[in-house]
Structures are given as C-alpha cells and as structure tokens.
Chains A and B, each alone.
Chain A
C-alpha cells in the first residue's frame, strides 16, 4: 500500500489540529511518550528524550490545546523529581501528576504545577515490586493502576504506593499479558490494557477479572501490531494507538472496527512561530513535496512515516478530553495530533 492511498475512512473522527513541535528544551517536545490532561485543559506531556541527550531534555511540558505554554518540570537523573526512562503519566483526582520510570522502576509524584512531592517503587518481581513500570491510570477509587511491563501484569496501588492487588501474568491466554504498555479505565471501572506483546487490547473488570479482548496480530482493520495505548469514551468507543502499524484505530463498544487514522498533521502554532522566524527554511519547505510517492520495502508503515511527515510516527499515547476530542502523542514527530467527533 503506498502512502497516497492510505486514507479511505468512515468518518467518525475528523482531524482538528496539531499541537507542539520538536525542541530539546523548554517550549516543545523531545520524544514525547505519554500525555495526561487536567480538568482545566492543561496537558502534561512527558518527554523521554534519549540517553545521549543532556539531562534537561528529559522533562514534562505543560501546555493547552491552543498552544499556550505553561513551562516544564522534571529532568534527567536519578534524584528526587528526576527520571531516566520516563514512560507513563497520569493525574489523580486532586490533580497531582504521576510519572513512571522504566529504568528506575519507580513512580514519581508532583503537584499540578510540577513541584516534586515524593516517589515510590522498588525493583523486583514480588508483590508490589516493579520491573519497567510504563502505563498509568487511576481507578474509580483514585487508586493507581500501573502497567508493570516486564512482570507482565497490572498492579494496583494506593496513591502513596501501598500495594493493593495485581492481575495478569506472563502469557498469551485470556487474562495473561505480554509486556503491557498503556492502560485506562471506563466509567464502570473496567480496565483496558494495551497488551503490547500479544497485539491485542484486553478488558478486565475493576477486580481484574478477564472480560474480553480485541484485536489480534496484523495490519488489517481491527488488527493490531504492538498497541501502546488505549482510551475509552463515555459511550464505550475504544481508541487504540496501534503503535507498530503507525495508526490509531477506533472500535465500537463491542469491539467492532469503526475507523483507522493514519495522521494528517499540519503546522502547529509553535511550528508556525518557528517557520515565521526561519524564513529561508520555510521557503524551502514550501517548495518541497512532503508527500512523495515512494515504494517502500515490505510496505513498512514505520518507513512510510519516516518519509512522510504528516503521518503518525510512533503514536504512543491516546487520551480524550471531556468534549470527546482525541489527542495522539507521536513520539517520533514530537507533537500531538488532535481529532474531534464528526457528530
């Protein structure tokens, strides 16, 4: 499939805008891997950066969907309020910010404005111990669910890190997990887990009992390749960051395929600011064909996305706002693409 015939869609969501751009520091993103939104619309984007980059490139960027910038907090390191491999981010009912760290195997807590509060977590495979914690979500009781990736399970803790329960376990059977990544809860408290290594999304009850599963390996409609994140809206529609296929898929409440999104980014406000100042680059960009028709080896979507800038590249997180808008965090394009409901 060439890049030019990727977009034959049922209209359920439509593209709205792009937010953010690449910067190593300050206003912008550098390998963003997850986002969370506060009730006031403030978006927290956690930037993983790279082991090769300076410590201050690892950070959480605060902004809103209009591109208003509220600053950054956090830094690379293993001290208080620092991260080495930040992965997931979530907000509790009080608006505090929780960030997981896959290398330090801990959860760090900040105030809504980014002041360090405390951190917890111990490396291991025992009850309450963590091995590469990634996705985070809060349940209806404001306890935190942690995708304990290398232990192939989900663990539930109090906000202070006291272990409550766990479910999952290594495997590919019903209720088993293989390096789970993102997770979320619905209005009933059911837990949806991006079962990354098994190419599926699994739904569990609030107690951790297996309910159902969606997907299966592949590139077809309703199939997944290493899904990274899942969101569920109030009507039960399921949104999946189909990371390995470089797309987002929408399923209905029964798991039936609705729509796939491949990405259609435009210039964000911050990108416009950059190009407005760097006129020579903007002019050359305007003359370039950024949607070239290229044949790709094995139709690899990763390669397509590396060449065609508007497409999703590394869609690692999907979140919804109260209006039902979908925010897709793209690790490799360092931006968010926002979609809204057609109806």
Chain B
C-alpha cells in the first residue's frame, strides 16, 4: 500500500475512530480501504475492557451515585474498544440527542441512554427515534412526564421535530401540538417518587434506582390528530413513522453525519438559512437513507466510501472534541489495559478542555468545531497530549523506541527521529514548515544513539521532546 493510501486510511481512522497506531494502520492496510470500512461498520462483536473488570475496581461506575461516574466507564470503553466507530456513534447521537445531568440528576439513566444509543446507533433510524422517545432520561430531560391528556407539554414534541429529526422550517406550530398530543402518556415508572428523588438529589436509603419507561393509556390522548398533512388517531409510533418518511428528516440526519464525519457545518440554528457546504453530498446521503429504509449503517458506508469524504481538502479540517482528543491520546499510549485509580484525573482533563459528557451546555448539545479552541482549552489540550505521549515508559512509547532502534545501528538522525515519530503517531502528515521546525528542534540534540531498546537521558529527552511538540501541532489537534 502506498504512503498516500496509508494516509487515507489514517484519515478514515481519525474520523471513524479515534486515530490509529502505525501498527494498526499497517494491519488494516492489508485489507484495503473498503474492507476496512466494512470492518469498522461490523459492530456485531465489540470487545473492550470488560464490564466486570470495570465494576470490580470502580464500583461507582456501576451504580453511579455521582454525576460523572458513567463517563469514566465510557472513557474506558472508548479507549479499549475494537469497534471505535460504535463509540464514535455514541458520541454522535449524544451530541444530537443531548441529555444532561444538570436536570436528570441520576447518572444511571444517562449511562443507560448512551448504551441505548450504541445498541441502535447504526441500525434503523426509526427504531432509534422510537427508543429515544421511550428513553427515561430523555423523558425527564424534556418534561414528557408532564405531558398529559388534556394538558400537553410541548417540550419533547417540539425538540423531536426541531432538533432530533427535521429541523426548523419543516413543520408548523400545530404539528408541534399534535406531536405532543401523540406522546401523552409516555412517561417513566414511579414518576412521582423518581422525580422527587431527583429534585432532592436523593440516593437514600439504598442508592439510586434505575428508571424505566411506562406507557399510561389512561393518560394518552387517543383523539384524531393532524400531523404533517396526515390525519389519524396517532400515537407516538405513528408520529415517528411519519417523521421518518420526510425528505427533511433525511436531509437533517445527512447534514449531521456530514458535519460530524466530514467537515464542519454552521450551527444547527443556521441550517434553515444557510445551505450545506456540499449539497451534492447531502443529496447522496439522503438517497442512501431512503434506499436503505432509514438504515444508518448504509448511510455511513456511503459516506466513508465517497469522494467527498476521501478528499484531501477535508483532512485535518475538523478540531477533535475533547472526548476524541483524550481518547485518541490514551489509545496511542496503549497503557490502559487495567482499571486505574488515576482514570478519574484523565477524564477531568477532558472537562478542563470544555466537554463534560452527559452534561452538554444545552439541548442543542456541544457547539463543537473551533469553539473547542480558546486560549485556556488549547493550552490544556496541548499539555495533556504532551504529558501522556511524552512519557517514554508507556507501551506506546516503548513501541516507538523499538522502531527507532531497529536499524542504522541504533543511530537516529534528527530527520529520521521526526519522521518516525510522525509516522508512529498515526501516519501524521504535517505541513513542510512544521516538519522543518520539528527537525530544527531535534537537531539541537544532534544524532541520538539507541543502546538496544534502552534510552540514555539525552535520547529520552529528544524522543519525548519531539513527540510532545508533535502533540501540539494543529495536525495532531485536528482530525
């Protein structure tokens, strides 16, 4: 496989995963690009650090008395999974169907919601939307437990249309009301007790109790409704069916997929007024949506195999979210094979960079894109990546050292040091000026001599220094 092909594969792994080590790229390159896409899309047997192992050492990540408990378990899974696209899709749907601890005040239903996203992430959009409508955390987040026959609460109905499926401009205020009527009676079990516990942040007497969906037919308005031009005694399932048939839904989901995997679109509120940057791509994805009967996996296959995705013009154009950056860095260290006390501190770094998973700033999720980069967040991002990757004792660094020592009698020139480090960190291609600066830095230490696989202090400083500088480059900080 040519270097260009390897770099295309690296692009795929940055977007469909969290990046890849050079060894992983070499292994995947044997299959070729399309086969790699197929492997990424095959999530039938995802393997990551076992639930039992996480629960044994971090009991709080199991029953979740505290708000952030589920996020650490998610970080373990993102970092250790062999199905990175599935975890990315968890992030993708979480970004759209954003639900937060600030209102839910029970971490277990939020964690259950993320598991649900991953279970249905790449199947039928209809199924996913239906499961979302029954999701206890979403019901509380958007007040559907207060949506009663004869006294509707429009919050869920409105966001289902505006943020979750079609977007502004494709429905009327009457559609919102009728949609809300259709979802009356869709609530959670033991609503009164569970709401009271949440309002008091109560975990007494015996810890949190998970939530479950409950349909109350006596509270459901089964009268005739007119929704998106159709009339009937619609219930929630019927509404989801009608939504999924809309071209606007196909375009909306397509634009989200493009935004997440290909290139930044403007914020969602601007979509009604600003056309997509690549209308043809949106049309292609929309066609895939209908051709496949709303199958997200098919849309992803179309996307990853498309020219608009492969185009070099979009490489390194997307700023990694803190979750993507932290996960990608930890995967490169290959130092996450067992639960560790320090994991919480690593997750906190993600929050210092501005992203608190399962606690987005609003119902619209995370702004993303360049908003991840402000002065403080950028320093935090650079520091984190540099600290983790500059540790020459991790298995990932040790693999790099073995590569450096593998030829030329252990003598490593500044140019070779830079090129091997760039390659090791995921076949990273940087601008020539960036490479020159890195070589200049490496040249300050001159050639380094590897003695077997051990490093003298001078060599260690050179290797760590170059890796740390690479971690701070725009190319590394972007996907």
Contacts and interface: CB of A to CB of B under 8 A. Distances in A.
A225 to B, nearest CB: 8
A306 B209 contact: yes
B57 A51 contact: no
A271 B60 contact: no
Interface in B335-357: 338, 341, 343-344
8 contacts: A33-B59, A84-B341, A179-B56, A281-B204, A285-B193, A290-B190, A314-B62, A332-B63
B206 interface: yes
A21 B205 contact: yes
A50 B59 contact: yes
B341 A271 contact: no
A267 B195 CA distance: 21
B189 interface: yes
Interface string A276-294: 0010110011011110101
Interface in A61-85: 84-85
A10 B111 CA distance: 37
Interface of B: 51-52, 55-60, 62-63, 65-66, 68-69, 108, 119, 189-190, 192-194, 196-197, 200, 202-210, 212, 338, 341, 343-344
Given A51-B344, A52-B344, A281-B200, A31 B60 contact: yes
Contact of A50 (B66, B202, B205): B66
B59 A22 contact: no
A52 B190 contact: no
Contacts of B189: 289, 292, 294
Given A196-B56, A303-B210, A332-B63, A52 B202 contact: no
Mostly, the A contact residues are loop
A288 B205 contact: no
Interface in A299-343: 302-303, 306-307, 309, 313-314, 331-335
B205 A267 contact: yes
Nearest to B341: A103
Contacts of B204: 21-23, 271, 274, 278, 281
Contact of A332 (B194, B196, B207): B207
A59 interface: no
Interface residues of A, number: 55
A268 B193 CA distance: 19
A287 B192 CA distance: 9
Nearest to B67: A52
A313 to B, nearest CB: 7
A292 B190 contact: yes
A85 to B, nearest CB: 6
Contacts of B66: 50, 52-53
Interface in A21-44: 21-23, 30-31, 33
A284 B191 CA distance: 10
Contacts of B203: 22
Nearest to A307: B210
A48 interface: yes
A270 interface: yes
Contacts of A331: 59, 62-63
Contact of A52 (B69, B196, B208): B69
B205 A292 contact: no
A217 B134 CA distance: 34
Rank and list the top 9 A-B pairs by shortest CB-CB distance, nearest first: A271-B205, A50-B60, A332-B63, A288-B193, A306-B210, A288-B190, A21-B205, A284-B193, A51-B344
A247 interface: no
B341 A85 contact: yes
